[in-house]
Structure 1
């Protein structure tokens, strides 16, 4: 072993160089795109971010577009869609310029502009959406036969959820009644009340109450 020639104390046995931080590759964007159609629909597909932190989620989305559809240079969205609305969003290799609208823009949509290619309007599926619901929304947004806006798709899903919940509630009520929980029509009398005759010894008459 070579002798220690530095000016500081010799290294101790077992000392190691400090470890470098490990870069984690972002998970792929959960994205569903509809095939090109003419005339084009109001949406190009759907995006289901994992959180509501746009600065953390946008890099994976732009990476998917950069590789196949041209570099994303700008984006637009509604102010109420995200908690933070920065004007510059850093992504790998460049910065995406953001425009924020207070009105006149679908609050459930994000619009991407690819350099030299065009724009892409995507339904933003809320990050906390259940998996089955998100799958239906993404499939509907990517369906060439459907021509619904982002807000219309979410409204249709809410109606479906309300209808399904009403059917499940009716089924639970019928099962409860079948098991003896309550009569089918608890508000209806089982039979008409019979009159009661009372003898009044003072008046010597009959009253019905």
Structure 2
């Protein structure tokens, strides 16, 4: 008897049901850029919310291989690609609910950034596109990196301000202190 490793669940954030619709229905953070491996777990995770996912479209920019069909639990998902589609968005179709648009967060994204993106993509009534969310997050990361470089400099200097520059005092007189004879 062969034992199989359990499939990892999809990292997914969806807009709550019965809320004001936005441009995106949520976000998905795959663990790799292999659609054949990642898509079954996503289709399974969405089934309770959107029904059986039958078709998916992606932009091939971030996917090295776009298979025509992917086997999911008990059915096949047909996969298409369009270069005109936002590279950071995936469109999923089901017979029962219709369409679901998800922000696709790159697998190599840091957890803090992914958490911010997943929250922002699932905000009810949001008018932000996948492209805008990714651009905003990239700007946030740049600002964070720049502020960290200042903190890193502070830490490497011992956490203290640099010593003041020393300037020679010209024309100063030495004053003898009591008990300290002048030589």
Greater relative CO, 1 or 2 (CA 8 Å, sep 6+): 2
The offset of 1:26, in angstroms, is 1.1
**TM-score calculated relative to the size of structure 1:** 0.71
Segments of 5+ residues of structure 2 without an aligned counterpart are: 168-183
Residue 125 of structure 1 pairs with residue 112 of structure 2: no
> Whole-Å Cα distance in 2 between the matches of residues 171 and 47 of structure 1?
32
Asked if residue 171 in structure 1 is aligned to residue 151 in structure 2, the reply is yes
Q: Where in structure 2 are the equivalents of 1:1-209 lying within 5 Å?
A: 20-35=1-16, 36-38=18-20, 40-103=21-84, 105-173=85-153, 176=157, 178-180=160-162
Q: Which runs of 5+ in 1 are unaligned?
A: 1-19, 184-189, 191-209
User: Conserved in 1, the CA contact under 8 Å of 2:105 and 2:117?
Assistant: yes
Note the C-alpha offset of 1:148.
Answer: 0.8
User: CA 1:171–1:24 in 2, change beyond 3 Å: closer, same or farther?
Assistant: closer
In structure 2, how many angstroms separate the alpha carbons of the residues matched to 1:181 and 1:165? 26
Q: How many pairs are equivalent?
A: 164
Rg comparison, structure with higher value: 1
Structure with greater helix percent? 2
Please tell me the root mean square deviation across aligned C-alpha atoms, in Å.
2.2
